[in-house]
């Protein structure tokens, strides 16, 4: 294992769902993880305890990813506790309530763009600054299959926010490559987490599973394993790529 393969990782939105599965997977592989969350102290604390019980290292940081100072504090926490990150997973994201475009409340529109777009940019800035000082690393952004499917009748605004993440991935990979920094994204399809119910669409997975060629909903662990690979040296020549994890849909 090379030093960057076992180096510290920052994960935004790591307390639940895909982020939490990734934190556990990385910690089990021996990588210390500093992760952020927005509101649920209990979920974050429980995850930290689970990681420690399994012999890993993790620290939780309450840090709204759309707040520049909070994002910088998350990175500072990682540096102080574990050292500069060699991997960063920019995962935190929300959909807002599901609705058609004409019914979209401007407050919800702005919040989704603040968290998914501005938040991803802020974390990417902090990641590049930290990695430029230490000779490079790997950044993984969280996109969605929605970016190219469009999110019609549910969340066109969310799909568009992930389209912006795709552009960030391609542009930043070119900008940061010379500093030894790889930038990729994952684009999950239908994954079994609480995000659908939070949007008021708890039945969504059952309704849409028939459209998935593999015939089933994906798990958070299946996205986490792709992210862990992108964060490792096993993917050392992969950069500027968006990998679908969508069961063929």
Catalytic residues: 158
Residue with tokens 């058609």: 100
Of 16 and 31, which CB lies nearer to ligand NAP in the complex structure? 16
List binders of ligand NAP among 163-202 (CB under 6 A): 188, 190-191, 193-195, 198
Picking from 188, 147, 139, 190, the residue whose alpha carbon sits closest to that of residue 165 is: 147
Task: Report d(CA 27, CA 184) in Å as an integer.
Answer: 21
| 13 touches ligand NAP (CB under 6 A) | yes
Nearer to ligand NAP, 40 or 167 (CB): 40
How many CB atoms are closer than 10 A to CB 39? 10
- Concatenate the DSSP letters of all residues of 108-139 into one string: HHHHHHIIIIIHHHHHHHHHHHHHHTTT-EEE
Q: Is 24 in the site for ligand NAP (CB under 6 A)?
A: no
Which of 8, 56, 93, 163 is close enough to bind ligand NAP by CB under 6 A?
A: 93
Residues that contact ligand NAP, how many (by CB under 6 A)? 31
Residue with tokens 């990681």: 51
Q: How far apart are CA 39 and CA 47, in angstroms?
A: 14
- Using CB under 6 A, which residues numbered 40 to 79 contact ligand NAP? 40, 43, 64-66
Check if the beta carbon of residue 186 is closer than 8 Å to that of residue 19: no
Interaction between residue 39 and ligand NAP (CB under 6 A): yes
For position 226 contacting ligand NAP by CB under 6 A, the verdict is no
Q: Applying CB under 6 A, does 91 fall inside the site for ligand NAP? A: yes
Specify the DSSP element, H or E, that contains 245: strand 242-245
CB of 192 to ligand NAP, least distance (A): 7
> Can residue 142 be called a binding residue for ligand NAP (CB under 6 A)?
yes
Q: Could you tell me if 224 and 18 are in contact, meaning their C-beta atoms sit under 8 angstroms apart? A: yes
Q: Which residue has the tokens 């920052």?
A: 10
Which residues lie near ligand NAP (CB under 6 A)? 12-19, 36-40, 43, 64-66, 91-94, 115, 142, 144, 188, 190-191, 193-195, 198
């Amino acid at each position: 294992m090379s030093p960057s393969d076992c180096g510290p990782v920052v994960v935004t939105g790591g307390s639940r769902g895909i982020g939490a599965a990734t934190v556990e997977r990385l910690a089990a592989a021996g990588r210390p993880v500093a992760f952020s969350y927005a509101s649920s102290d209990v979920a974050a604390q429980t995850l930290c305890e689970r990681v420690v019980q399994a012999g890993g290292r993790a620290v939780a940081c309450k840090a709204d990813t759309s707040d520049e100072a909070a994002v910088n504090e998350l990175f500072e926490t990682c540096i102080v506790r574990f050292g500069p990150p060699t991997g960063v997973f920019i995962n935190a994201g929300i959909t807002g309530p599901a609705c058609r475009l004409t019914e979209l409340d401007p407050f919800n529109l702005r919040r989704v763009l603040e968290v998914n777009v501005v938040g991803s940019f802020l974390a990417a800035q902090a990641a590049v600054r930290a990695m430029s000082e230490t000779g490079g690393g790997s950044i993984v952004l969280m996109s969605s299959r929605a970016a190219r499917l469009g999110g019609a009748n549910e969340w066109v605004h969310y799909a568009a926010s992930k389209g912006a993440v795709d552009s960030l991935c391609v542009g930043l990979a070119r900008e940061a490559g010379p500093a030894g920094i790889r930038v990729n994204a994952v684009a999950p399809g239908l994954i079994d987490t609480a995000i659908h119910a939070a949007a008021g669409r708890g039945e969504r997975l059952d309704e849409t599973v028939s459209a998935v060629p593999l015939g089933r909903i994906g798990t958070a662990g299946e996205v986490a394993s792709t992210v862990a690979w992108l964060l490792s040296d096993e993917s050392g020549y992969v950069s500027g790529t968006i990998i679908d994890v969508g069961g063929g849909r």
